[in-house]
Structure 1
């Protein structure tokens, strides 16, 4: 059975590859959600006036990968203690949010968040929000598959994330 999941965790360029490469993932689309403007552009979202967050919409086959597994991958891609951005990406449009489409996804996301809190992996509070999914608007074509189209820039973004993360966690 096919399902979708929507995750926001900083720049959508860096959120695609970890999911895209997993068995059972049919597609990962970069886009915008959580705002009040229909069909926003990248430039509009960057102004931080539309209310949108950069996010990815993942279509997956539940017989090959579960929503629980996707949530676990998500936690490993974000800093769940930073409500106002992710790593070097600052601002509300980069906030960490798990957008749930139904009560089943909400229960899984909430339980996973509680497990993360109990694990005490982070010394700071876990602030990632879990919200009901809103309309998702695909980003412009140049933002799709960024890690494949721009491998050098993607690698530089990943290195910067790692530097920021190791500085924050130590």
Structure 2
């Protein structure tokens, strides 16, 4: 078994766990914070948009079963890649999207997928999602882990109320 790591910031991390959790080869999806320079940030601190950190998920996967490219496709279908100011009703730096790459191979794959999405004509605006080198990833507090399983009713209301689910349905249909 080959273990690899992928890290994606897609706005609220609650909404970024479930889409990856359901795939064979995904061993874990951890909610957390990355991109900033403050050690061991808390949810409350990250929400101030002063830490440089973004809410993100770190995925451990077996690349013999699911490829990094497949994870990129899943990622793009969970977000509004044209929104440079956050995601849906979550605004600010901590909710901006990013692909954090752990190797040159990941960086090249991420750049290729971004160019392909832009060229697809799916979106009229430029793709705003950044591709950045991975930094230290800090797992979020336990209450935020697997939130969709721990608080399914609240998770469902949030995913719909934020506009994320409608956006996915309109832009990706059954592919999301």
TM over 0.5: yes
The one of 155, 162, 165 equivalent to 2:165 is 162
Tell me what 2:63 maps to: 62
Distance of 1:13 and 1:84 partners within structure 2 = 18
Normalising to structure 1: TM-score of the pair?
0.95
For residue 162 of structure 1, report the CA deviation from its aligned partner.
2.7
SS at match of 1:121: coil
Q: Give CA-to-partner distance per residue, 1:54-99, whole Å, 9 cap, x none.
A: 0000000011100000000000001000011011111110001000
Q: Give CA-to-partner distance per residue, 1:108-145, whole Å, 9 cap, x none.
A: 00000010011010001111000000000000000000
Residue correspondences, number: 169
Once the two structures are superposed, the pairs formed by residues 115-126 of structure 1 within 5 Å of their partners are 115-126=116-127
RMSD: 1.6
Matched, 1:92 2:75: no
SS at match of 1:81: coil
Structure 1 spans left out of the alignment, 5+ residues: none
Instruction: Determine if contact 2:79/2:168 at 8 Å carries over to the other structure.
Output: no
Tell me what 1:143 maps to: 144
Instruction: Determine if contact 1:87/1:165 at 8 Å carries over to the other structure.
Output: no
Distance of 2:167 and 2:87 partners within structure 1 = 9
